[in-house]
Amino acid sequence: MVTAEYLEGSPLLKRLEALGLIEHRRDSSDGQQVTIRLTAPGRDLVPKAAHLQHGLRDAFPMSDEELSALRALARRFREATRTPPGQA
């Protein structure tokens, strides 16, 4: 589950939902928690995504540690570019 604020602030999740690949439902108890599920078309893409992931790993041979470091750096870059200058 993710919070409702996360869904509202995530362009990727919005695009996936607009494409009909995911759906979300708010938790009826507090309205803050959101459950995100793949739709049938989203589930149909899982094997293709796995194939793509394996292809990328073959094309760019990196250790798990290197991939983890790359993900962390990409996340920091993405967050830094979302924050207006002077508000970091």
Other residues' Cβ atoms within 10 Å of the Cβ of residue 30: 8
DSSP 3-state assignment of 31?
coil
In which element (H, E) is residue 38 found?
strand 33-38
pLDDT given at position 28: 73
Distance CA(57)–CA(55), nearest Å, equals 5
Domains of the chain by residue range: 1-39, 45-88
pLDDT at 1 over 50: no
pLDDT tens, 9-58?
A: 688 888 999 999 999 888 777 767 888 899 999 999 999 988 888 888 88
- C-alpha angle 27/1/7, rounded to 5°? 85
